[in-house]
Structure 1
Amino acid sequence: MPETDPNAKQPAPCGSWPSPLTAAAMTKGSVGLRFLAQDGPDSYWTESRPWEKGRSILVRQRGTDAPQDMSGAAHNVRSRVHEYGGRAFAARGGTAWYFDGGDRRIYKVSEPDKPEPVTATLPMELADFTVDAARRRLIAVAEQPREGQEPENFLVAIDADGTVTRLAGGADFYAAPSLSPDGSRLVWIEWRHPNMPWDGTTCREAPVLADGMLGEARIVAGGDAVSVFQPSYAPDGRLYYVSDESGYWNLYRDGAEPAHFRAMAEFGQPLWQLGMRTYDFLDASTAIVTFAQNGDWRLALFDLDTGRATPIDLPWTGFDGIVASGNRALFVGTRPDGPGGVVLLSFGGAEPERVLRWSSESLLPPGGVSLPETIAFPSEGGVTAHAYFYPPASATHCAPDGEKPPLIVMSHGGPTSQTHSAYSEKIQFWTSRGFAVCDVNYGGSTGFGRAYRERLTGQWGVVDVDDCCAAALYLAERGDVDRDRLIIVGGSAGGYTCLSALAFRDVFKAGRSSYGIGDLETLVRDTHKFESRYCDKLIGPWPEAAAVYHARSALHHPDGLNCPVLFLQGSEDKVVPPNQAESMVAALKEKGVPVAYLLFDGEGHGFRGADAIQAALGAELTFYGRIFGFTPADGMADLEIHNLS
């Protein structure tokens, strides 16, 4: 008898492969790592824990000690300024201050789990804190609800006794307050409707007067057609900022000749959450920076006098939230081949690189991780679009001879956002079961310059859909995937792209929309202040362009929806309310198209709780199994699919 190769992979239908990356395992020990601060030897970050219903905890690592929870056991370090919130804490001199999104109070803490209240319950949300040590106060961005009208946004100071004082107001939105090292100047960015922060912002600087109020502000940079991001002072008091006036988000110094700072690289990011950072200072002449070229992110030391960038060779390919103090720098690192973590760099130290906290365990064995292929492909009109392609990968299983895998096309949210090559359990969950995945940076995505971003101006629901369809067909024609099992999925704005592709194109055979937009008219009537004029640029002014809104809303075109769709929705979603999904479900049920709908009680715009995350993944896998005729190794979840016998 011939010998059996013990390393041979077992053939099994795509979608049915067993995987150690179960939905339960993904949520059991994984955490979301987000906002950072470096205070001398102390490293701080927030982590969101699904097993605590997504509660956000402030964590500190001091020296070589183990990480310790600093915020109170019942506290949630989260803000809802601009609905998406942002960095809700600051640290200085061994003390941290944070905003609890539950009781809307500020707390200070120096010892683990021993917070002390600074304020009473406040009638506002706060985020993007900076410490004014000389005046023993905090400065922050505030958002205060108003009866019968939009909330008001402004800058405030919070004194040590809990007194809140307004510092600046009048614009529609504020972000990124930063104090000069000597405390004499405050800089920030602001913008007005209908702009989003990536469209046009104004950077202002004002003197801080003897009484702590602000003097007359001057305009540093920006305007209605220029986006300014993260103004910051170097240790010597020189002011820097990121601006896209050249067509790319480049780093500038106030009052300096900008030529040697210019590059076809993106030093900025779309400001969906307050407190986002792409650079910080090691000293007066050196910054540590992250920047994107053709969508891929790099890390470098930047000479502020010459403009020369020296790459830092690390295994990471994503560098989020960079902060620095002295010779230390901290960032959330991501990589293609495994989980990310909070990474501490020490320049000149005995241990130059150390991971303080991993986002999760590595659950996939060698050979079981799908590594991305960067692809550039032709789209409508001869333009080039971009994506990452992930083939199926398993250490134990393979497709039977002649079977090509089903393809899941992912359309990211935003839509002004970007997908990265970072290891994602949400992608590996599928590739480890025999699916291929294509994660698309459609026109309108960031990381490729302003011109690529503006491909979506007036064309949302067209360009993004064209690029997602082109990506799927490109891979099918290349022979990588099964043309008859093309799936498109997305959440929020990505859910809109998903539904539009299903309604207006005949490319995909199934779809999954998570808190996606089916009716643009309902979106502009129901959404929150931050995004209330977003569609002015993406579609056209409302109600003047009402006909365009109607024409590009899948809800109004059920005749085009002829393939199965799964809808996942949170009951407390204020960005895309449940009525969007429910209207679409009703239309599909009436038409006789297979459709399933899950409403998760207590969840908002994006699922944070472990139960919801697990149930959503199980339902989606079951949905595809029943539609395409395979049995998942995980078994079938209890899912009602209307109009499917």
Structure 2
Amino acid sequence: MTVATTKQQAPCGAWTSPIGAAVVAAGATPLAAIMFDGPDLYWLEGRASEAGRSTLTGPAGELTPAPFNVRSKVHEYGGGAYAVHDGVAWFSHHADTRLYRVEPGQAPVAVTLDNAHRYADFVVDAPRARLVSVREDHSAGGHYPVNTIAAIGFDGSETVLVEGNDFYAAPRISPDGSRLAWLCWDHPRMPWEGTELWLADIGADGTLLNGRMVAGGPQESICQPEWSPNGALHFVSDRSGWWNLYAFEHGVVQALCPREAEFGGPHWNFGGSLYGFAAGGDIVCAYVEGGVSRLARLRDGGLADIATPYEEIRELRVQGATVALLGGAPTVALELARIDLDTGAHAVLARSIGQLPPVDELSVPRSISYPSANGRTAHAFHYPPANARFAPQDGELPPLIVIGHGGPTGMAASTLKLSTQFWTSRGFAVLDVNYGGSTGFGRAYRDLLKGQWGVVDVEDCVAGARHLASQGLVDPERLLVRGSSAGGLTTLCALAFHDLFKAGACYYGVSDLAGLDADSHKFEAHYNEYLVAPKAQAAAVYRERSPIHHTDKLTRPMIFFQGLDDMVVPPQQSQSMVDALRARGVPVAYLSLAGEGHGFRKPESVVATLEAELVFYLRVFGIPVPAGLPALDIGNLPAA
């Protein structure tokens, strides 16, 4: 027998939700960097209760107790922070950037002795008693560090193997130990614009011989070089317009599976992996079509999907007949799963969220495509409000929060995120936009943002909000926009140059493009030449697009959030915007957070920012603020 239940009607935005800010902050355990060592699996877990410390976990449990934080600072975004061989692990410690060695049951021991070097993406070269690593040398004290590929002896000695390029990634040693492959690129390119794949022989003394470029160039992005067990070099290239799989063998490059799908992603972090080699020579891979990931087996050019519950696969590794992956779906938070290719058995080894809210409290998104400016089609995930006990008042349409993701070469995925459900369970609709420039839709879509940052991304966010409003799904008078980092620029430009959104939230967002150039770290020092304009034309275009020069056009209420240790977007950018809006009488709130960088890791920071943003929206729309939420100082807005 089915028992009918009546939901209580209440103003959208003020619904009582089981997904509080503390649940969002404490409920997520970041999972990353899975790696096999023989049959044993290792991965990184974040510790929200320990200021976001990242720890290495393996068959025997935690290998890196506090205060060790397994995290690299190379390129500022890091990744590739550890390697394991025969049960022994080497890792980069975030606090001092030194390399450490740790064996099960023992305390970590420092291998390198100074903190002038940073290391990432290292592989173990056991016969030569060394690691081969991307190294970033800050010892000269210049404006930018020097990047190389170096050999780090188990005794701590260091030898440069490859130098001369601005950037390096993915050193990979062939199975027989005789060859080394790597990626490199130079300013002004970013790695998703153009990279080179190089190959060299390893001499008897461990140095490299006969180095030669085997693929890539200024207009071809290559990622994820890997060796097959039989010694064939594989990689992912977008030479066809899509990141597809290729093999280099006997001097010839061969396409393995031409398809309008993405088998790789942009190199923001080291160590990414979306394919591996199974017993028998098959390739097991993840690919993205239409913003959704699938797992598949590639054999003799034929691609056969492998059923999983996941719609996003962030990384995977293969060992024999076993696949380990990080996957998620609309009702599945990111989890670490092990899949047996022979039997289909599926085991979950770790979950990013231990206890999920009931399914009837979750908003399940639908993937939508809609018309945008200049005949473009944009893509997004639409989350309607969802709550087991509450419904809108008669005739009420929900307010909409439009999210512009960071990157801006990122991709919005549909994996369950409590930070999104925090809003939908309170009566907000959410539109998570894959604007032109996003990954996952081919190079032509990604290149829509070339020279158009602050234009195309903004137009696609505006068009998405209008699309939902025209369908009667959201309240056209209560449209909000929020974003972080690059998405922060999208937010500011949407409010400055379009009269649609009623308020916005900017998390450590870019407001001054010229200032970003002046303060940027090496990895992104020339990124704006791709996103905005070459240096010869930059000054005029920067001024035209930088919100800091158009504060007279910002009339809508805004809230800003900024980590004071941010090395990517300097805190002064947010402070300048806040000061300008306050002086002009625009309602504005500002939360600066000590000890936080580019992205907030501390649980108290997550709680403070989410609750402040909620209170801000409620007060802007005149919705009663529920008891228990903190007071918020909103300059130029009359007290509630």
Select 1:297's aligned residue among 282, 285, 293. Answer: 293
| Residue of structure 2 in register with 1:287 after alignment | 283
Select 1:330's aligned residue among 324, 332, 344. Answer: 324
Whole-angstrom distance in 2 between the partners of 1:334 and 1:276: 17
Which residue type is aligned with residue 201 of structure 2? P
What is the CA-CA distance between 1:25 and the residue it aligns to? Answer: 1.6
| Count of residues in Structure 1 that have an aligned counterpart in Structure 2 | 634
Preserved CA contact (<8 Å) 2:80 2:120: yes
| Residue of structure 1 in register with 2:465 after alignment | 472
Which residue type is aligned with residue 315 of structure 2? G
Q: Please report the TM-score for the alignment, with normalisation by the length of structure 2.
A: 0.97
| Residue of structure 2 in register with 1:460 after alignment | 453
* Cα deviation digits, residues 549-575 of structure 1 (max 9, x gap): 000011101121110010000000010
Whole-angstrom distance in 2 between the partners of 1:108 and 1:541: 44
Whole-angstrom distance in 2 between the partners of 1:472 and 1:277: 35
Select 1:214's aligned residue among 208, 214, 234. Answer: 208
Summarize the alignment of residues 157-306 of structure 1 with structure 2, pairs less than 5 Å apart.
157-255=151-249, 256=252, 258-283=254-279, 285-303=281-299, 306=300
* Cα deviation digits, residues 233-270 of structure 1 (max 9, x gap): 00000110100000100100114563552111111101
Select 2:402's aligned residue among 398, 409, 419. Answer: 409
Which residue type is aligned with residue 352 of structure 2? S
Whole-angstrom distance in 1 between the partners of 2:392 and 2:146: 56
Which residue type is aligned with residue 287 of structure 1? I
Which residue type is aligned with residue 492 of structure 1? S
Is there any run of 5+ residues in structure 1 with no aligned partner, and where? 63-67
What is the CA-CA distance between 1:277 and the residue it aligns to? Answer: 1.2
What is the CA-CA distance between 1:331 and the residue it aligns to? Answer: 1.2
Matched, 1:71 2:71: no
Which residue type is aligned with residue 111 of structure 1? P
Which residue type is aligned with residue 557 of structure 2? P
| Residue of structure 2 in register with 1:153 after alignment | 147
| Residue of structure 2 in register with 1:65 after alignment | none
Whole-angstrom distance in 1 between the partners of 2:257 and 2:40: 31
Summarize the alignment of residues 20-39 of structure 1 with structure 2, pairs less than 5 Å apart.
20-39=18-37
Secondary structure of 1:341's partner?
strand
| Residue of structure 1 in register with 2:340 after alignment | 346
Whole-angstrom distance in 1 between the partners of 2:215 and 2:477: 52
* Cα deviation digits, residues 358-411 of structure 1 (max 9, x gap): 101343213111011110000001111100000000111111110100000000
Which residue type is aligned with residue 592 of structure 2? L
Which residue type is aligned with residue 46 of structure 2? S
Preserved CA contact (<8 Å) 1:18 1:634: no
What is the CA-CA distance between 1:173 and the residue it aligns to? Answer: 0.4
Secondary structure of 1:455's partner?
helix
| Residue of structure 1 in register with 2:622 after alignment | 629
Matched, 1:641 2:637: no
| Residue of structure 2 in register with 1:510 after alignment | 503
TM-aligned CA distance change 1:591 to 1:246, over 3 Å: same
Summarize the alignment of residues 363-402 of structure 1 with structure 2, pairs less than 5 Å apart.
363-402=356-395
Summarize the alignment of residues 597-612 of structure 1 with structure 2, pairs less than 5 Å apart.
597-612=590-605
What is the CA-CA distance between 1:79 and the residue it aligns to? Answer: 0.8
What is the CA-CA distance between 1:525 and the residue it aligns to? Answer: 0.7
Whole-angstrom distance in 1 between the partners of 2:331 and 2:46: 22
Secondary structure of 1:357's partner?
strand
| Residue of structure 2 in register with 1:55 after alignment | 53
What is the CA-CA distance between 1:284 and the residue it aligns to? Answer: 5.7
* Cα deviation digits, residues 474-529 of structure 1 (max 9, x gap): 00001100000000000000000000000000010000000001111111111111
Whole-angstrom distance in 1 between the partners of 2:405 and 2:501: 17
Whole-angstrom distance in 2 between the partners of 1:644 and 1:216: 68
Which residue type is aligned with residue 310 of structure 1? A
| Residue of structure 1 in register with 2:84 after alignment | 91
Preserved CA contact (<8 Å) 1:38 1:329: no
Preserved CA contact (<8 Å) 1:88 1:127: yes
Whole-angstrom distance in 2 between the partners of 1:608 and 1:261: 39
| Residue of structure 2 in register with 1:43 after alignment | 41
Secondary structure of 1:215's partner?
strand
Which residue type is aligned with residue 568 of structure 2? V
Which residue type is aligned with residue 325 of structure 2? F
TM-aligned CA distance change 1:257 to 1:143, over 3 Å: closer
Q: Please report the TM-score for the alignment, with normalisation by the length of structure 1.
A: 0.96
What is the CA-CA distance between 1:162 and the residue it aligns to? Answer: 1.1
Which residue type is aligned with residue 158 of structure 1? I
Whole-angstrom distance in 1 between the partners of 2:43 and 2:340: 17
TM-aligned CA distance change 1:394 to 1:632, over 3 Å: farther
Q: Which moved more, 1:357-366 or 1:264-273?
A: 357-366
Whole-angstrom distance in 1 between the partners of 2:508 and 2:266: 21
Secondary structure of 2:210's partner?
coil
Whole-angstrom distance in 2 between the partners of 1:486 and 1:10: 24
Whole-angstrom distance in 2 between the partners of 1:382 and 1:589: 38
TM-aligned CA distance change 1:634 to 1:302, over 3 Å: farther
Q: Which moved more, 1:7-16 or 1:493-502?
A: 7-16
Secondary structure of 1:401's partner?
coil
Whole-angstrom distance in 2 between the partners of 1:589 and 1:446: 37
| Residue of structure 1 in register with 2:607 after alignment | 614
Secondary structure of 1:545's partner?
helix
Preserved CA contact (<8 Å) 2:87 2:104: no
Matched, 1:118 2:111: yes
Q: Which moved more, 1:629-638 or 1:516-525?
A: 629-638
Preserved CA contact (<8 Å) 1:61 1:356: no
Secondary structure of 2:318's partner?
strand
Preserved CA contact (<8 Å) 2:333 2:352: yes
Which residue type is aligned with residue 152 of structure 1? V
Preserved CA contact (<8 Å) 1:387 1:441: yes
| Residue of structure 1 in register with 2:10 after alignment | 12
Preserved CA contact (<8 Å) 2:286 2:293: yes
TM-aligned CA distance change 1:204 to 1:14, over 3 Å: same
Is there any run of 5+ residues in structure 2 with no aligned partner, and where? none
Preserved CA contact (<8 Å) 1:539 1:549: yes
Whole-angstrom distance in 1 between the partners of 2:193 and 2:630: 44
